Amino acid sequence: MPYPLLVVTAVTAEAEAVRAGADPGHVLVEPVGVGPAAAAAGTARLLATGRYRAVISAGIAGGFPGRAPVGATVLGTRSVAADLGAESPDGFLPIEELGFGSSLLVADPLLLKGLTAALPEAITGDVLTLATVTGAATTANTLATRFPQAVAEAMEGFGVATAASGANIPFLELRTISNPIGPRDRAAWRLKEAFAALSTASGALWTACG
């Protein structure tokens, strides 16, 4: 029997949405906590205690206006630690410019190819990981300029990718968009629609990645 696919989410509500659509015989779904540190630690623990075909970081996210509308499904070509670096008088310096490593991890090309084929309406692009959710238009505009290929923002992908990379396990980030990035207007969020889209997308996971 092939090894199962591991899907990690931040919170239980996301895990339940994935389980509603995924093949329970081949896909293990576990919430690991909010933020990149909890995501990395939780994923590393799971990978140390089991054997898996691949790891998917899944959940809802904010979408960059004009790139990923509310309700869309996003497949991350890269998971980017957007706030990993240092401030300077001339602006933000990513960790690469400091000489301390890399702020991005590339999705497994076979996983990306399989899911792109299975989810032809999905939007592909960079998914940013931030420890602080964007809540101001100025920050959203700055991120959109710094990362022209970014389509969404979440809080766990780079942490999950780091754990998967350390264990030499294929990785990809799957997100559905619940709100536009920018000023926090809870009335404009569409959580129900985003969870429904997550369940639908999760139905393709084992077929595309198994």
Please choose, from the candidates 181, 168, 146, the residue with its C-alpha nearest in 3D space to the C-alpha of residue 74: 181
pLDDT at position 183 is 83
How many C-beta neighbours within 10 Å does residue 149 have?
11
pLDDT at position 210 is 67
Spell out the alpha helix ranges (H) of the chain: 12-21, 36-48, 95-98, 109-118, 137-146, 157-166, 191-202, 205-209
**Residues for the chain: how many in total?**
210
- What is the C-alpha to C-alpha distance for residues 79 and 55, in angstroms, rounded to an integer? 13
Residue 124: strand pairing partners: 75
Tell me: the pLDDT tens digits for 144-182? 999 999 999 999 999 999 999 999 999 999 999 999 998
Domains of the chain: 5-209 (3.40.50.1580)
Entry pTM: 0.92
Where the chain has pLDDT below 70, the residues are 1, 210
pLDDT at position 184 is 77
